Amino acid sequence: MARSCDYSEISHQPNADDFGALKQKITDLEARIEGRRSDLGWHDPIRSVSTSKSPTSTTDLTLSQDGSTFPPMFFLDAEVFQESSTKIIKPVIPVPTEVANTLGTSILDIQDVVDRYFANIHTWLPVVSKKRMELNLSNPSLELSLELSLLLLAMKLIIQIPSGDSQSVRSPLYALTKRYFAMVESAGIISNQTLQANILISAYEIGHAIYPAAYLTTGHSARLGHALGLNDRQNAPQIHKKKAAAWAEVEEVRRTWWAVMLLDRYVNLGSQGHPLATDDPARKDMLPADDAMWDAGEMTTSEPLYVSSPTNVRAGAFARTCQATHLLGRLIRLLNDNLLEAPARFTEAIQLHRTIQALANLVPADVQRSPEQFGTSIALCYSSLIHLSDPFACTESNRGDHTVEETEMQGIAIAGMRNAADDVFSFSQLLRRSMTQNPSSISPLVGDCLYMAAATYAWIVHETGSREVAESYHSLKNVLEIMSCRWAVGAQYLVILKKAQETLYPQTPLLLRSFEN
């Protein structure tokens, strides 16, 4: 298992924390013994940790008198916490009956949720270790902890496809998952699994345009990652003092933090002026390893990929998404920067456009092969190109002094908007086929580039009256309609397109309708 052997022990006088830890272990052991069944088999009901305790109410997910045992010292004086022998003791709280019943009564029910999750969501958001989850579920005496049950509940939520009106996305399962997360967090339980659950909740809210919850939940993921020290494993205070030794576990933690950065940047795309909740990765921060090898639990022997690695270095699907995430972060910071002098601003914009375009030119072959896996990365590239070009295409929004750099960037932006929109149109035709064949595996993060390209086409129709562009506009709208069958955000983009035409280009709706007819 590639773990270093360490049998050393530090001798010290037992303190109150040690006695507390021993008491908790005894309580947990007694609960396990009392709840164990000698004839436990594969089809038997899953047991929650500490089943000897009274189950939590099915309607009120509140903490029992056990409360939180999280030591305030970690936040009040992290240095003392790190140097002392203080340990974080997880409270012994049973999984609420309502949660257990929602997950199912047997391992087969949970296995069905997990299988559908890895077949669909995992293709574009591979942050949960498939191999480690398989090992957990293959344990014949599996007991559901609060953290694992929360993650499984979030998995069940994100694979759910709401039907009916727009309120169906705020389903009872969504409400239960949010309440359960609040309960687990208030118990002082912070771990990689709770962060992963919050990421899945955030992705669900982004995909179904549940705002402001999506924006706030995404920011909360950043706070959880900071608390865990994932933003800087070497220098930030670490809640869990014992470092992960298994390669698959280290890789899972790395991917989890990249997912936080991904959603943080994506949720800020349409609301420029809001600061990011996460810093940019360092130049030597590693990108995710090969997806297939990680899924199989095999340690990769290939050279590590860094953020500073050239975009043309061969990389896996999620590594490409993370490269696009890094560039998207640079874009948002550039657009939000009101202090950078004009020449430096235009030079940075020109260089950033070239870098994003280089990555966008590299991915299409992979997208043709697997749009479910590589679609997110190229969609982020196209979104970045249009968002970058939009403010620089107009002299009034350039905030420059008509310098050489400004003129060059304006030319790049004007051509870049149309070129990126055309690339999105070609990409959308591939998405249409993919969504028709397997709608469950489509990434909601492709929605912004479809919307931005459609908005660009609407502007071009307003300026030129082009029938060809109008036809492309209607085609993109159709893809958004198809997407809305899986993710409600597609329908919201259509509403915004209509409102933008009525507000910004009053004549455009008439032109577009005439071309449609």
In this predicted structure, the answer to whether residue 299 has a pLDDT above a threshold of 90 is: no
In this predicted structure, the answer to whether residue 55 has a pLDDT above a threshold of 50 is: no
**236 three-state secondary structure:** coil
In this predicted structure, the answer to whether residue 443 has a pLDDT above a threshold of 90 is: yes
For the chain, what percentages of helix, strand and coil (3-state, to nearest 5) are there? 65, 0, 35
How many Cα atoms are found within 13 Å in the side-chain-facing hemisphere of 498? 9
Residues of the chain with pLDDT > 90: what percent?
47
Q: Please say whether the dihedral angle defined by the alpha carbons of residues 367, 285, 136 and 200, taken in this order, is positive or negative.
A: negative
Average pLDDT, the chain: 83
Which of 80-89, 298-307, 328-337, 379-388 has the lowest average pLDDT? Answer: 298-307
Q: What is the pLDDT of residue 38?
A: 31
First to last CA, the chain: 65
Q: In the predicted model, what is the mean pLDDT of residues 153-159?
A: 96
pLDDT tens digits, residue range 75-95? 776 777 776 777 777 777 888
Which of 172-176, 230-234, 244-248, 395-399 has the lowest average pLDDT? Answer: 395-399
In this predicted structure, the answer to whether residue 157 has a pLDDT above a threshold of 60 is: yes
pLDDT tens digits, residue range 235-291? 776 777 666 567 888 899 999 999 999 999 999 998 888 999 999 988 888 899 889
Q: What is the pLDDT of residue 20?
A: 59
Q: How far apart are CA 28 and CA 70, in angstroms?
A: 17
Which of 223-227, 301-305, 437-441 has the lowest average pLDDT? Answer: 301-305
In this predicted structure, the answer to whether residue 37 has a pLDDT above a threshold of 60 is: no
Give the contacts of 345 (CB within 8 A, at least 6 positions apart).
Answer: 334, 337, 399, 400
Question: Measuring CA to CA, which residue among 434, 419, 361 is closest to residue 388?
Answer: 419
Q: How far apart are CA 223 and CA 65, in angstroms?
A: 27
Q: Which pLDDT band, with edges at 50, 70 and 90, does 205 fall under? A: very high
Residues of the chain with pLDDT > 70: what percent?
78
In this predicted structure, the answer to whether residue 44 has a pLDDT above a threshold of 50 is: no
Q: Which of 1-5, 184-188, 297-301, 478-482 has the highest mean pLDDT?
A: 478-482
Where helices occur in 187-312 by DSSP H, the ranges are: 192-207, 213-228, 247-267, 291-296
Question: Cβ(91)–Cβ(66) under 8 Å?
Answer: yes
Q: What is the pLDDT of residue 507?
A: 62
Give the contacts of 14 (CB within 8 A, at least 6 positions apart).
Answer: none
